[in-house]
Amino acid sequence: MSELPRARGALIRPATRADLAQVTGVLTAAFDDDPVINWIVKSGDGRIANLRRYFAAQFLFRHQPVGGAYVTDDGSGAALWDLPSAEPGRRAGLQLFLAKMRYIGWPRVHRVNRALAGAEALHEDRPHYYLSNIGVDPKVQGAGIGSALLRPVLDLCDAEAVPAALESTKQHNIPFYERHGFQVREEFQLPDGPSFTLMWREPGS
């Protein structure tokens, strides 16, 4: 990866812990109407606060510590990736579970974990980069920010000859991912919830 991309004049860069508020804010705004996130996170008067807790936990304990978080320097977008060679440690795993207890609640946390594990089991066994979340401020969507946010890791995929995977929670986003080399693999139905589309990208696509 020779140079980090720009979109609308904003630089795409690796996120630090100091970017927590920016990342949680833009992802909460971008996923406010997302059917899968709203199936995972408790509804009610505290829904927005729970969405922020959800993204904060993912950022702090899963993605940013292993170098899998990217952000625009103007706060307009963020992307969270799982890396093929990096697994959260046991302490991070416990912190994630405790955070889930807050924003999902007991005993539903186990049901959510089982359902999402079923989707993960459909991924190929080959090491791959996994796009957990990508979001752009709704006010500036369509300006190329999402494409720029994808670029650093897709460049790594091509340079390392490693595939990538994601789940598209909205049908109208599928053509966007297809333009970046992802192909539809299959649909996954959540129990008593929405479905989403598993997509896969071979390096160089």
- Report pLDDT digits (tens) over 92-142: 667 777 777 787 777 788 888 888 888 888 877 889 999 999 999 999 998
Helical H runs in the chain?
Answer: 20-30, 35-40, 47-57, 90-103, 108-120, 145-160, 174-179
Name the fold adopted by 7-201.
Aminopeptidase (3.40.630)
Q: What are the boundaries of each domain within the chain?
A: 7-201
What does the mean pLDDT of the chain come to? 89
Rounded distance, CA 51 to CA 87, Å?
23
Please check the confidence at residue 89 and state whether its pLDDT lies above 60: no
pLDDT-based confidence at 2, cuts 50/70/90? very low
Rounded to two decimals, the pTM is: 0.89
The pair of structure tokens assigned to 129 is 């980069």
Least confident of 3-12, 28-37, 118-127, 131-140: 3-12
Determine if residue 105 is left, alpha or beta; phi over 0 gives left, psi from -120 to 50 gives alpha, anything else beta: left
